[in-house]
Amino acid sequence: MPRTPICFAHDLMHKHAVNATVTLRDVRSRINLVQPPVSNGEIDMNGNPIADHCDYRPTSGHAGGQKGDTCVERDCFFSPASYYASIISHLLSQPEPNGELDPSFLLPSSQKTELLFQSAGNGTCSREASSPSPDCGLINSSQFHNEHLQAKRARVENIIRGMSLTPNPIVPGIQVEGDQNHLEKVKGSYRENKRKQRVPQQQSLHDISLARAGQNGIQVEEYLQLKKQLHILQQQLKQLQERFAQPHELNDSSPSQGSMEKTLGLLKEKFGQSLDSGSQGVSSGYRRDRFCRSIPKTRGSEWSEKGTRTSDSHSLTSEDRALSEILKRELIQVVTQAVDSVLKQVLPESPDPQPHLPSSPTVTASSTGREFTGAAASASSKWLPKISSHKSTISVATEKPPAFPSYPIRSKMERKPCQVPPVNYPLVMTSEVQGNSIFSQMLLCGQNSPWGSLSPKMVPSPECLDRPWRPIKLKSSVMRHQRCPTPYKSAEIESLASLPASNSELAEMQALMDGMYFPSIHISFLYHQHLASAEALTPGHLKKAKLMFFFSRYPTSSLLKTYFLDVQFTRCITSQLIKWFSNFREFYYIQMEKFARQAVLEDLTDPSDLIVTRDSELFRILNVHYNKGNDFEVPDGFLDVASLTLQEFFSAVRAGKDSDPSWKKPIYKIISKLDSEIPDAFKSSTCPKELNQG
């Protein structure tokens, strides 16, 4: 019987839920035209008419033909051209040796949207509003705090000594010259760094915040105050960086008093000088040099997590490395927290979970499984920040290729350009932290659990919950998005550094520094955190793994390591995680086989009739298994993989291949190639907010 040829375009599909959705939906629609659908007799789930501009072609030879590994054809063209033109141009500009697509270019990821947005802005980073009056930071606070510093010196020495063996800290890199020792290391991640450091990002936060401030009627002073705080934080970050860098530079000799003196002198210098942006070249040349020198050695390792983890470790013990990593994360976390705090205040009217989608059709996940009109934004919306774009057309297209001409999304999806902050990144903090003085709060934290509360990688394991220094709850998944650079990276902070600091803020900074200088508490705390995080996998990890299964059926152990950063991977833990996924697959394949056999019994002939939709029983079973509570929106890509799996099983069973004891292996091989990229949000232990609720 003549079949409708199908174009699966799987290389796009399985990596990009949105695209895949369109393709399969389209396919399904066509199938529905040819013959009634298997289960539910309605038309296309979206109620859309059948688009007819996809050039279908026979694909996988299900009906007995031999099937290659790829099993799909890859050419599928839609209109309008605007979207696909960009795809094509991307393809042309991104020659991949293996012919694989860059998974990032279709997904409506934060990165993409952000790129769009950034390209919409102008590229300058200096703004008048960022250069307020430079005369409010002239207090000589070294005098003010001299005694205090003296008193702290011993402790500072102590921590410096303690950190003398720690590897290179993380510092937002700016330049790499002038440090041959670390040049090689930096090279590896330089590309990524460059990408993260792009000026437009600074621009975006800056302008956006400014625009918001103005729009919302927030007083300029208030805004500037916040910026000042950011500035202070940044200064403190620099101090930390230098503090890390110094022991490294002097690692031949003992962490000397000289190092200490330098650091303290630096501190004094900063406190004692205006931080006038315009004139910092003179007064801060020394600092800047030092800062920049410290960058190459510090930047390389953690901001690009992959592959560099071990690069800085020749002479370090694993414990030192672990401590270093933890410290690095804390730094990132603090910056993130500060930015969140500022944004929260600058954007006070956006506590609404989806404030910039007021009339968006993406509002609900379909509990019934039936597609909602906003399916476009559904697939990744929970995980990837939606940063609106001036070019709403492209933004929409990114989220869903306009393969459905009648899709009424465009007008509804338009957003105000100023509504940029990615609200899908929770800005959830306790009220304490939301207070105006985040530094005081940080200090406050420091008394019990300095920084520990900010650890992004701590899963609240039972042991942790009982710790006296139990962290205040602070969630921010802004951090650690390797492939989704948020607009709030250190570059932004840097851009705000041209602000003068007030006396009180300097005092706060001092206090903060003091808080950080409790070495004994601090170090032991970090070690405890580290050890605690290593012990076992928790139910939260299991749930996370299950959700990850929607994206990856065959994760490698190395991939798992990158997504379970709060787990210290022993052989046992690794095996357990691997085993989990093995169990997941087992259940998955059992269901697939079951339904495939059922379809065979029902005398279905065309494998392509077997489409797993959200309202199919098979999906329901899978969803219950992997997504109990239905609090995570299953990506469409999973439906596609499930459909293909089902079809493969169906074809095999129908062809009688199941008489072969190893008849499933070819299917496994096929499915194993359909893993898609797991959203970066999973890298954060706080990422899927659903995980923390359950």
Residues that bind DNA (CB under 7 A): 537, 542, 546, 554, 556-557, 571, 574-576, 578-586, 589, 625, 664-665, 668, 672
CB of 480 to DNA, least distance (A): 23
Cβ atoms 340, 486 nearer than 8 A: no
- Local structure of 235: helix, strand or coil: helix
Q: How far apart are CA 118 and CA 112, in angstroms?
A: 10
CB of 590 to DNA, least distance (A): 8
CB of 577 to DNA, least distance (A): 8
In the complex with DNA, the residue whose CB is nearer, 185 or 664, is 664
CB of 315 to DNA, least distance (A): 25
In the complex with DNA, the residue whose CB is nearer, 153 or 309, is 309
In the complex with DNA, the residue whose CB is nearer, 295 or 671, is 671
User: To 5 degrees, how large is the angle CA 513–CA 514–CA 517?
Assistant: 90
- Tell me which residue of 100, 89, 299, 58 sits closest to 182, measured CA to CA: 299
In the complex with DNA, the residue whose CB is nearer, 254 or 558, is 558
CB of 578 to DNA, least distance (A): 4
CB of 307 to DNA, least distance (A): 17
In the complex with DNA, the residue whose CB is nearer, 335 or 592, is 592
Cβ atoms 269, 525 nearer than 8 A: no
Q: How far apart are CA 291 and CA 287, in angstroms?
A: 6
Cβ atoms 27, 611 nearer than 8 A: yes
Q: Both ends of the chain: CA-CA distance in Å?
A: 50
Diameter of the chain measured on Cα atoms: 91
Q: How far apart are CA 675 and CA 67, in angstroms?
A: 19
Q: Which two tokens stand for residue 536?
A: 């076992």
**576-593 per-residue burial string, b: 16 or more CB within 10 A, e: under 16:** bbeebbeebbeebbebbb
CA-based radius of gyration for the chain: 27
Residue with tokens 């220094």, as numbered in its chain:
469
CB of 159 to DNA, least distance (A): 37
Residue with tokens 């500009």, as numbered in its chain:
93
Cβ atoms 274, 138 nearer than 8 A: yes
CB of 674 to DNA, least distance (A): 12
In the complex with DNA, the residue whose CB is nearer, 431 or 571, is 571
Inter-axis angle of helices 257-272 and 146-163, nearest 10: 140
In the complex with DNA, the residue whose CB is nearer, 194 or 669, is 669
- Tell me which residue of 395, 319, 329, 325 sits closest to 356, measured CA to CA: 395
Residue with tokens 């709850």, as numbered in its chain:
473
Residue with tokens 């099993």, as numbered in its chain:
71
In the complex with DNA, the residue whose CB is nearer, 53 or 579, is 579
In the complex with DNA, the residue whose CB is nearer, 30 or 541, is 541
CB of 482 to DNA, least distance (A): 22
The length of the chain is: 694
CB of 580 to DNA, least distance (A): 5
In the complex with DNA, the residue whose CB is nearer, 581 or 650, is 581
In the complex with DNA, the residue whose CB is nearer, 206 or 541, is 541
How deeply is 611 buried, as exposed, middle or buried, from its count of CB atoms within 10 A (0-12, 13-18, 19+)? buried
DSSP code per residue over 342-409: HHHHH-TT--SSSTT-TT-TT----TTSPPPTTHHHHHHHTTS-----S-HHHHHHHHS----TT-TH
CB of 668 to DNA, least distance (A): 4
CB of 647 to DNA, least distance (A): 18
Q: How far apart are CA 586 and CA 347, in angstroms?
A: 47
Q: Which residues pair with 475 in a beta bridge?
A: 428
In the complex with DNA, the residue whose CB is nearer, 291 or 584, is 584
In the complex with DNA, the residue whose CB is nearer, 79 or 574, is 574
Q: Which two tokens stand for residue 395?
A: 């933004």
CB of 638 to DNA, least distance (A): 16
Cβ atoms 260, 157 nearer than 8 A: yes
